[in-house]
A and B are shown apart, each in its own frame.
Chain A
Amino acid sequence: MLHATTTELEVLDLVPFGQTGAESRFFALRLSRPDWERWRPGQFVMVRPRNFGLESLWGKPLGICHMTARHMICFFQVRGRGTRRMAELRAGDTVRVWGPLGNGFAMEPDTPTLLLAGGMGIVPFVGYVVTHPKPWNVSMLFGHREPASCYPVDNINEHIAVDSLREQADGDLDNFIYTIQERMRDCAEQKGLVLACGPTPFMRTVQQFAAALDVRCQLSLENRMACGVGACLGCVARTTSAWPAQDKREFPVQVCTHGPVFWSDQVEL
């Protein structure tokens, strides 16, 4: 496992995404760069702003969107009390951050790699695409309900072609599922690798296709977490009989430390 640290980081800025005028629910949070030696796309951090006080106790698990020499970018959608507070952050505020946490996605530069993102599931793929040494081997299918401008899709578009499907009317979802299947079939024929991140129903669909088409596939899970370090046992997912460690087969394992990325045949959703 990579070495994690905990430190206070400074908020450099908080950039709203999506609709202008109306109150935004999507934000890129830019923080000063933590002093980690290494990180892998698909890993995450726990972020706890000082303004949580004693009202909200847990840090929030945020996927690492991207990292540069000077800063780390996380991305979040306002969904509850904690993320509402996070939307009030301003430049100069400090947040406690611990990480990098979890295992990250497989990266096989020469393998044709299909990224499947559902909504906010696009976040970890930004860093994946930006750091991939051979981006011409990577393609992406992105399904979402909100306008594309709500998500950090431009950063990915600069490097690879993204097929973006927005669900607005009846039939759009069926079309998306059909497209997932077709793209995964192509990937299977090329002996490729599928990586998926998104809401659970979407991931179940991907998992079923992966089994039916016999294509190697990883899923990034997003369970409720308190600690992020393997202690609270709140985020567990049940393994299948294909799990490598015999004593943990068909047993709950922590998503934060054994994942968040799992091979699709090794975990129950």
Chain B
Amino acid sequence: MDCAVTLKGQSRDLRLKNPVLTASGTFGYGLEFSAYGDLTALGGLVVKGLSLQPRAGNPTPRIAETTAGMLNAVGLQNDGVEAFCREKLPRLPWRDTAVIANIYAASVEEFAALAARLDGEEGVAALEVNVSCPNVRAGGALFGQDPQLAAAVTAAVRRAAPHKHVMVKLSPNVTDIALLARSVEDAGADSISCINTLLGMAVDLRSRRPVLANVVGGLSGPAIKPVALRCVWQVARAVRIPVVGLGGILTAEDALEFMLAGARAVQVGTGNFLRPDCAFALAAELPRACARLGIDDLPAFCGSLVLDHP
């Protein structure tokens, strides 16, 4: 079965050879995983969040294992957009798979500058706008929790990068995610990815200290899958632009659950830490899982959840 999918945006479409992407912050710049699978077998890869200047991130410990999940408070450590364009992008197989640049900034102006810088990069197929990082003080989740700010960031990126598909990544740490989804759609977003991590915390009884130096961090992994599914369902019902689902996806069946709830594509995140070939294995398994489940038209299957009591 051909699993190719096109995310039809308001301004720009994003064509993917299959609906399996890797989630930002869990797949490095892609090259880290090239020993464990063929990057071009993926629908696309979303690289580690980029900022205008290099960022050192938060102090350690930055990660903690929790039951069926993990917390991170990395704080967007990255080499900066220039180093990415100079050293990483040329080595990525961007002609054969979609390279999506996740971008983070602390102000609307900085978001626009980043988007403008990447708009001219032929190797970048789309921008994923991070208005939902829970681990940085300035910006981050603040943008994603306020519909007006989220819309302002989206509109600024849209204007600054007219040649790119603009995907906006939403946070689950809000009262009404559908409200946020509608406001970024109205501001010109081509697609929405959800969810970013859930704000969480772990403590150590012996030392009586938080496990993370940042005290709080973002929860990811199978523990959050039901929350993510619920958010994808709510967002997909609220907007017309395509939704990309993520949150605890490890298997092809997990991916199909998100698609049943309304996602057009999915991202594999924490799964990449369980085994480095997780996303590759999932992409290879997807057609077989469709065959097992009698799914012969994947686009038609997306959002086909049957409600007995609508």
Q: Considering residues A55, A224, A233, A236, which has the most beta carbons from chain B within 10 angstroms of its beta carbon?
A: A233
Query: B32 contacts A55, CB within 8 Å?
Result: no
A232 to B25, CA, bound (A): 7
B: number of interface residues (CB 8 Å): 37
14 contacts between A and B (CB under 8 A): A48-B274, A54-B250, A55-B68, A57-B69, A58-B274, A59-B273, A98-B36, A229-B33, A231-B27, A232-B25, A232-B72, A232-B74, A233-B48, A234-B60
A interface, how many residues as a size bin?
Answer: 20 to 34
Q: Mark A137-154, 1 if CB is under 8 A from B, else 0.
A: 000000000000000000
A4 to B28, CA, bound (A): 16
Q: Which residues of A contact B270 (CB under 8 A)?
A: 57
- Say yes or no for B203: interface residue by CB 8 A criterion: no
Chain B positions within 8 Å of A, measured between CB atoms, are 25-28, 32-33, 35-36, 48, 54, 56-57, 60-65, 67-70, 72, 74, 77, 79, 83, 221-222, 250, 270, 272-277
Query: A233 contacts B27, CB within 8 Å?
Result: no
Query: A231 contacts B28, CB within 8 Å?
Result: yes
| CB of B134, distance to nearest CB on chain A (Å) | 15
| CB of B198, distance to nearest CB on chain A (Å) | 15
Q: Which residues of A contact B62 (CB under 8 A)?
A: 233-234, 236
Query: B63 contacts A6, CB within 8 Å?
Result: no
Known: A247-B83, A252-B57. A56 touches B32 (CB 8 A): no
Residue of A nearest to B30 (CB): A231
Residue of B28, B74, B275 touching A6 (CB-CB under 8 A): B275
Q: Which residues of B contact A81 (CB under 8 A)?
A: 65
Query: B273 contacts A6, CB within 8 Å?
Result: no
Q: Which residues of B contact A56 (CB under 8 A)?
A: 65
Question: How many A-B residue pairs lie within 8 Å, measured between CB atoms?
Answer: 102
Q: Which residues of A contact B273 (CB under 8 A)?
A: 57-59, 226-227, 231-232
Q: Mark A45-60, 1 if CB is under 8 A from B, else 0.
A: 0001000001111110
- Say yes or no for A257: interface residue by CB 8 A criterion: yes
Q: Which residues of B contact A58 (CB under 8 A)?
A: 65, 70, 273-274
Query: B33 contacts A252, CB within 8 Å?
Result: no
Residue of B48, B77, B274 touching A57 (CB-CB under 8 A): B274
Query: A6 contacts B68, CB within 8 Å?
Result: no
Query: B275 contacts A226, CB within 8 Å?
Result: no
Query: A233 contacts B70, CB within 8 Å?
Result: no
Q: Which residues of B contact A55 (CB under 8 A)?
A: 67-68
Q: Considering residues A5, A82, A224, which has the most beta carbons from chain B within 10 angstroms of its beta carbon?
A: A224
| CB of A108, distance to nearest CB on chain B (Å) | 28
Query: A230 contacts B28, CB within 8 Å?
Result: yes
Q: Which residues of B contact A252 (CB under 8 A)?
A: 56-57, 60, 77
Known: A98-B275, A224-B61, A227-B273. A232 touches B26 (CB 8 A): yes
Q: Considering residues A54, A59, A96, A231, which has the most beta carbons from chain B within 10 angstroms of its beta carbon?
A: A231
Q: What 9 A-B pairs are tightest by C-beta distance, nearest first?
A: A234-B63, A231-B28, A226-B273, A230-B32, A227-B273, A4-B35, A233-B74, A229-B32, A54-B222
Q: Which residues of B contact A234 (CB under 8 A)?
A: 60-63, 72, 74
Query: B35 contacts A5, CB within 8 Å?
Result: yes
Residue of A6, A223, A227 touching B277 (CB-CB under 8 A): A6
Q: Which residues of A contact B222 (CB under 8 A)?
A: 54, 57
Residue of A nearest to B76 (CB): A233
Residue of B54, B64, B68, B272 touching A231 (CB-CB under 8 A): B272
Q: Considering residues A81, A236, A257, which has the most beta carbons from chain B within 10 angstroms of its beta carbon?
A: A236
| CB of A175, distance to nearest CB on chain B (Å) | 29
Q: Mark A25-58, 1 if CB is under 8 A from B, else 0.
A: 0000000000000000000000010000011111
Query: A236 contacts B65, CB within 8 Å?
Result: no
Q: Which residues of B contact A136 (CB under 8 A)?
A: none
Q: Which residues of A contact B61 (CB under 8 A)?
A: 224, 234
- Say yes or no for A3: interface residue by CB 8 A criterion: yes
Q: Which residues of A contact B274 (CB under 8 A)?
A: 48, 57-59
Q: Which residues of A contact B72 (CB under 8 A)?
A: 232, 234
A227 to B271, CA, bound (A): 10
Q: Which residues of A contact B275 (CB under 8 A)?
A: 6, 48, 59, 96, 98
- If A3-B35, A224-B61 are given as contacts, then 8 extra A-B residue pairs at C-beta distance below 8 Å, sorted by A number, are A57-B273, A57-B274, A59-B273, A98-B36, A98-B276, A227-B273, A236-B57, A252-B57
